[in-house]
Amino acid sequence: MSSHSVLSPVVGTDAPNQHLELKKPQELKEMERLPLANEDKTMSANLKYLSLGILVFQTTSLVLTMRYSRTLKEEGPRYLSSTAVVVAELLKIMACILLVYKDSKCSLRALNRVLHDEILNKPMETLKLAIPSGIYTLQNNLLYVALSNLDAATYQVTYQLKILTTALFSVSMLSKKLGVYQWLSLVILMTGVAFVQWPSDSQLDSKELSAGSQFVGLMAVLTACFSSGFAGVYFEKILKETKQSVWIRNIQLGFFGSIFGLMGVYIYDGELVSKNGFFQGYNRLTWIVVVLQALGGLVIAAVIKYADNILKGFATSLSIILSTLISYFWLQDFVPTSVFFLGAILVITATFLYGYDPKPAGNPTKA
């Protein structure tokens, strides 16, 4: 009994120590995780704001530089938009190959194997991209037509109709269900665009403004909206059905896009190319437009995972505002009216409302 009475305090004191020793590494791990979690949150927030900046820069700069390049009066022939589309597709292919090379741990052998396995060995999967690629090529050509006939601000607001077309194609092709807020936003969007396209008194009185060119620009934007909606939903459907990377898919899109683009060059601008060359009228500004068009989609694809719907709404709104201000003060090809401002506000509101995701009742903790 005496031995037991001596030992029992020892056991009693050792047991908690053993428990503490077992618990200590777990507590240390939790303490180590706390600063890492805070760093992750800070990095995520920084990436969100970086995404916002990149999205605004890309959407605004492409529209404004494209508009400026199509209206700038210079000596000699103007660059052909059909050739610019082809060069943009080729640059996109090169950029995507570099990204796949980076994902392949900078190994040429691994890159060759990935391209061979994912593209050459899957001809049917590759052929599926021919349809959206052809539509994207048409859309890219139409954007040049639109910005040759419409000011950047009007184009930016009207082009938001792609939200409507994308929603309708998502419902019909992907069986997606839209909520009340989304249907309401589509109605507001159409109303806003109608206001933006409403002719002002200065446009009605001016004989210099060609009604035909305004109509051509509007038809080009509307067709681009429909093509963008269909091609985007079709591309999304393909991505969901297969496990290929976005970069591989973009290589496939670029391959078909360059073929369709070259066909367009031959059909519409073949004589001009044979006379003045493929790169006629190219200057520094033209190359900036081409690079922005080529890399813009890839940049958005890379950062879109950090940008939620509200952030995309902010990017669209800021882009519309910047395009309006720069068109008025710098390009001086646009005079905003009260009707335009009303339409722009409605379009911006619709953009936010479409991305609005109401929190379900009874789950207040959901972020």
Length of the chain: 367
Mean local confidence (pLDDT), 40-46: 65
Has residue 283 been placed in a domain? Answer: yes
> Is residue 36 assigned to a domain?
no
Do 154 and 225 form a contact (C-beta atoms < 8 A)?
A: no
Which candidate, 79, 62, 61, places its Cα nearest to that of 70?
A: 79
Contact residues for 54 (Cβ-Cβ < 8 A; gap 6+) = 299, 300, 303
How high is the pLDDT of residue 4?
47
**Could you tell me what percent of the chain has a pLDDT over 70?**
76
64 vs 36, more confident:
64
Per-residue pLDDT at 237 exceeds 90:
no
Please tell me the predicted confidence (pLDDT) of residue 66: 92
pLDDT higher at 27 or 339: 339
| pLDDT (0 to 100) of residue 142 | 93
Better-predicted residue by pLDDT, 275 or 176 = 275
Of 5-9, 158-162, 210-214, 340-344, the range with the lowest mean pLDDT is 5-9
Residue 179 tokens read as: 């909520």
Whole-number pLDDT of residue 201? 56
The structure tokens 């009216």 sit at 337
Output 268 or 52, whichever has higher pLDDT: 268
Average pLDDT, the chain: 80
Residue 38 lies in a domain: no
Is the confidence at residue 320, as pLDDT, over 90?
no
Cα Rg, the chain, nearest whole Å: 28
Q: Which of 23-27, 41-45, 312-316 has the highest mean pLDDT?
A: 312-316
For residues 74 and 5, the model is more confident at 74
Whether 42 maps to a domain, the answer reads no
Tokens for 88? Answer: 């943009």
Q: What is the mean pLDDT of residues 67-96?
A: 90
In a domain, 193, yes or no: yes
Q: Of 64-78, 165-179, 243-257, 348-362, give the lowest mean pLDDT range.
A: 348-362
pLDDT at 97: 93
In a domain, 14, yes or no: no
pLDDT in tens, 105-141: 888 999 999 999 888 888 888 898 899 999 999 999 9
- pLDDT over threshold 50, residue 207: no
Count of domains observed in the chain? 1
Q: Which of 175, 186, 278 is nearest to 233 (CA)?
A: 175
Does residue 27 sit within a domain? no
Domain limits for position 332 = 52-355
Q: How far apart are CA 182 and CA 264, in angstroms?
A: 37
Q: What is the pTM of this model?
A: 0.76
Least confident of 78-82, 196-200, 246-250, 306-310: 306-310
Contacts of 105 (CB under 8 A, 6+ apart): none
Which of 14-28, 65-79, 130-144, 334-348 has the highest mean predicted lDDT (pLDDT)?
A: 130-144
Please answer whether residues 347 and 196 qualify as being in contact, where contact means their C-beta atoms are separated by less than 8 angstroms. Answer: yes
In a domain, 172, yes or no: yes
Return the higher-pLDDT residue of 317 and 229.
229
Q: Say what the pLDDT of residue 262 is.
A: 96
